[in-house]
Amino acid sequence: MKPSPGVAQTELLRRESARSELALRRQARSDLLAFATAIDVPGRPATQALLAAHHALLLSALQRTSETPYGRLMVFMPPGSAKSTYASAVFPAWHLGRRPGARIILASYATSLARQHGRRTRGIIQQSDYSRLFGAALTRSRSAAESFALSNGSEYLAGGILSGMTGHRAHGLILDDPVKGRDTAESETIRRRTREAYEDDLKTRLYPGGFVVLVMTRWHEDDLAGGLLPAGWDGDSGALACRDGHVWEVLCLPAICDRTDDPLGRRLGETLWPEWFDAGHWAQFQANPRTWSALYQQRPTPDTGAYFKAEWLKPVAMLPARGGLHVYGASDYAVTEHGGDYTVHLVVGIDASGRLYVLDLWRAQASSDAWAAAWCDLVLKWKPLEWAEEGGQIKAGVGPFLLALARQRRAYTFRRAFPSRHDKAVRAQAIRGRMAMDGLYLPADAPWRAEFERELLRFPAAVHDDQVDALGLIGQLLDHIQAPRAVAQESREQQRDWLEDEDDAASWKTL
Domain assignment of residue 339, given as a range: 310-496
Single pTM value for the model: 0.69
Residues 147 and 38 in one domain: yes
Considering its fold, how many domains does the chain have in total?
2
Q: What is the CATH number of the domain that holds 131?
A: 3.40.50
Is the pLDDT at 30 greater than 70, yes or no? yes
Cα–chain-centroid distance for residue 295?
A: 8
pLDDT tens-digit map of 235-270: 899 999 999 999 999 999 999 998 889 999 999 899
Pick from 296, 329, 350: which residue ends a domain?
A: 296
Residues 78 and 142 in one domain: yes
Between CA 156 and CA 50 the distance in angstroms is: 28
Q: What is the pLDDT of residue 48?
A: 61
Q: What is the CATH number of the domain that holds 480?
A: 3.30.420.240
pLDDT tens-digit map of 178-219: 988 877 887 888 889 999 999 999 999 999 999 999 999 998
Residues 133 and 274 in one domain: yes
* Structure-model confidence comparison of residues 163 and 328, the more confident one: 328
Residue type, position 417, single letter: A
Residues 211 and 280 in one domain: yes
Residues 287 and 151 in one domain: yes
**471 within domain boundaries:** yes
**235 within domain boundaries:** yes
pLDDT tens-digit map of 424-476: 888 888 899 899 889 999 999 998 998 899 889 888 866 688 999 999 999 99
Between CA 199 and CA 197 the distance in angstroms is: 6
**11 within domain boundaries:** no
Between CA 234 and CA 300 the distance in angstroms is: 10
- Mapping DSSP onto H, E and C, the string for 239-261 reads EEECCCCCEEEEEECCCECCCCC
Residues 400 and 342 in one domain: yes
Is the pLDDT at 232 greater than 50, yes or no? yes
**25 within domain boundaries:** no
Residues 38 and 181 in one domain: yes
Between CA 161 and CA 176 the distance in angstroms is: 9
pLDDT tens-digit map of 381-417: 999 999 999 886 566 667 788 889 999 999 999 999 9
Between CA 305 and CA 297 the distance in angstroms is: 19
Contact between 175 and 215 (Cβ < 8 Å) = yes
Pick from 296, 324, 351: which residue ends a domain?
A: 296
DSSP 205: G
